[in-house]
Structure 1
């Protein structure tokens, strides 16, 4: 977030104190993302962090604290559905082994603040180590750190030797991820373990991946019965499930198994697109980060094996993003921040429009669509009564130039201006 070029006025109008903190946010206009139209001269009223009213051409309630964003367009706070807060792309390959385990927790605190400052007031963290992100989430909720609302998966589940296992170390280390299992019943236990320690979504690796060793993105790594057991157990506990799946066979098996969102979906085929439409499955496709990884991955220490896999699927993923969107598959915004710098994720909106979306489609992917996929419709991703008072402000017209969302001027979370 760049420094504010606008006057932000905190005005107290009432002689009597209010029983609850009331904030009024004013601007030139507000984008109603559901209707796809602007509301002129809005006053967004927020009481104790929640929106209570949106008044066109209105006046701030008496006694409210006013945040005046004159000259700006308001939108709901943005939602990124695929991030890794406890990672940085600058530490590729084996370079991360030079640090202590808790280095990544501290780094995650910085990344969380960076994402909030560029306009992402809610993120879904799909896989970490040592329960790093749950601790960051708790610190934010307790007021000790600055960051977005976090929905976290804790450890990702996967097969022994698969993409979500420890694949970089020799046998003498006996390194194994706590999320690994090799049977349907054992995966049910893994789901319960991650929930026990605070997981709000379950992440599973259905195929190989780009940034692991000894796996290929197109290779299915879990049987459909295992995927179904994970989905059934998670849904029993009222948790959504996200499946890392690049290859067509793994994508199709995950959709048939009842998984809620497909991450990456790089090599989705016609059957996968048909299945996603039939099942109402969301696609969560990170089509921007390859620009970064191919430009600086080698200097970051990323292994050639990983860069090769990234090159091989990059254009196919973008082309399939276009195909899936044109077919009417439901889609959400997902950056895979951690593979790329967290502070640069807003650049993906431009690529989403380049590959077939209209600006309002791309904006909805990061607002109302993402909220629906999270199971938080009406809570985040909209500016309407009952939702959290999370807003961003840009200086231009995002419906004319979606690139405005890569240059956010102001961020409000729960009615508080992020300074």
Structure 2
């Protein structure tokens, strides 16, 4: 289906959700909530602090008090044996799908409406896992999903959506890769409207189209990719001048640019072109790391996706033949690259590429980061204050007065035992509680 018709169908699908009873769309309560935390993770310092009380009013943090404050006019939420943290942010997700052996044929068999409804469940799973914000890096569905979440029709994280990724002809995000000649001719060559560029003028037009579509961020595919129906997973796919045209135009509209990149030369061009972040970064070497530090470029490793595709590449028939060798070769390297980047002082933020792996398992990335030698507190900072820096927002990522009341909690101490991140049982976003520990009621 042509992208324009696909967007229209998605809009109708998610618009239908807005016709549901609007109980979720009620404004936040004005009642003060007192969240009593046995411990509190200070994202600025990366330290676990002792008992604190977080006061929440009108969806914002009103005050953070040491100890267990007693307030007669506040509704108490008692998390005495928990560590409270700012809600996590996953900087690389794809909420419009999830990998399976059928993924490559579903685009021909399913309607955009099917993908829209699936995305609703993926969004809720992500929120319930403790991720109150995500940056969705590619997918028509999530522009509309974002709006449905903001309107209160759908439970999900705050979504910073890229919409359609920007690629070159035959590049990782070219939507016609793998099409037979007849179908490709029938559809016609994709252009900037569909996210495919081949010149500086195309680059500018593609960014402006993303603005028209309502995107929050720009995603480019600076090199080949693992899962695209194409041979190369690491060849460079833009010139420096094309990247610079994208970045400069994006800046006019207040966009930041994330660059999918596996190969060294594509990373080099993306960094010189001024992108905000490098995603995956598989073949990053010392030269690229020096360049990233020099330009202040962020690194989002997505170890989860690497491990997932390397594992699935061992299964006959899971991936098409052209994809399988890339998945086996590239996927296995990302965790090692993340370890080197941390040792070399590259700025690291949290992202998983979920949609490749199963939504809701995002927190396993923390475990993989720690396995790579990244300290647990640094990994937690990567998903809180550092992620906010990548997004360019200053109202989330820390538990401080005036910030969004995005609060999650886990039993125990996640810095002492990183496995605690898999046990999120309290989730508050914008002052609304979506998940809380079940009370044990004695048998009568």
Q: Could you tell me how far apart the structure 2 residues matched to 1:101 and 1:19 are?
A: 36
Of 348, 364, 380 in structure 1, the residue corresponding to residue 365 of structure 2 is 348
Report how far residue 63 of structure 1 moved. Answer: 1.7
Report how far residue 171 of structure 1 moved. Answer: 2.4
Are residues 1:319 and 2:336 paired?
Answer: yes
Q: Could you tell me how far apart the structure 2 residues matched to 1:301 and 1:373 are?
A: 34
Greater fraction of residues in helix: 2
Cα gap change, 1:294/1:326 in structure 2, threshold over 3 Å: closer, same or farther? closer
Cα gap change, 1:92/1:308 in structure 2, threshold over 3 Å: closer, same or farther? farther
Aligned to 2:111: 100
Of 132, 144, 149 in structure 2, the residue corresponding to residue 121 of structure 1 is 132
Aligned length: 399
Q: Could you tell me how far apart the structure 2 residues matched to 1:19 and 1:405 are?
A: 28
After TM superposition, the score normalised by the length of structure 1 is 0.91
Aligned to 2:171: 162
Q: Could you tell me how far apart the structure 1 residues matched to 2:124 and 2:209 are?
A: 28
Q: Could you tell me how far apart the structure 2 residues matched to 1:103 and 1:54 are?
A: 43
Q: Could you tell me how far apart the structure 2 residues matched to 1:308 and 1:361 are?
A: 33
| Moved beyond 6 Å, runs of 4+ | none
Residues 100-144 of structure 1 deviation map (CA, whole Å, 9 limit, x = unaligned): 12111111111111000000000000000xx31011111111111
After TM superposition, the score normalised by the length of structure 2 is 0.86
Is residue 95–residue 301 contact of structure 1 (8 Å, CA) maintained in 2? no
Is residue 303–residue 368 contact of structure 2 (8 Å, CA) maintained in 1? yes
Q: Could you tell me how far apart the structure 1 residues matched to 2:230 and 2:305 are?
A: 22
Q: Which has the higher mean CA deviation after the structures are superposed, 155-164 or 55-64?
A: 55-64
Q: Could you tell me how far apart the structure 2 residues matched to 1:39 and 1:193 are?
A: 46
Residues 325-379 of structure 1 deviation map (CA, whole Å, 9 limit, x = unaligned): 11111011110000000111111111101112000111111111111000013x1
Is residue 350–residue 403 contact of structure 1 (8 Å, CA) maintained in 2? yes
Is residue 121–residue 147 contact of structure 1 (8 Å, CA) maintained in 2? yes
Aligned to 1:57: 67
Is residue 162–residue 216 contact of structure 2 (8 Å, CA) maintained in 1? yes
- Which 5+ residue runs of structure 2 have no aligned equivalent? 1-27, 436-444
Aligned to 2:409: 393
Of 351, 360, 380 in structure 2, the residue corresponding to residue 363 of structure 1 is 380
Q: Could you tell me how far apart the structure 1 residues matched to 2:55 and 2:316 are?
A: 48
Aligned to 1:260: 276
Is residue 309–residue 331 contact of structure 2 (8 Å, CA) maintained in 1? no
Is residue 398–residue 404 contact of structure 1 (8 Å, CA) maintained in 2? yes
Of 309, 329, 345 in structure 2, the residue corresponding to residue 328 of structure 1 is 345
Aligned to 1:374: 391
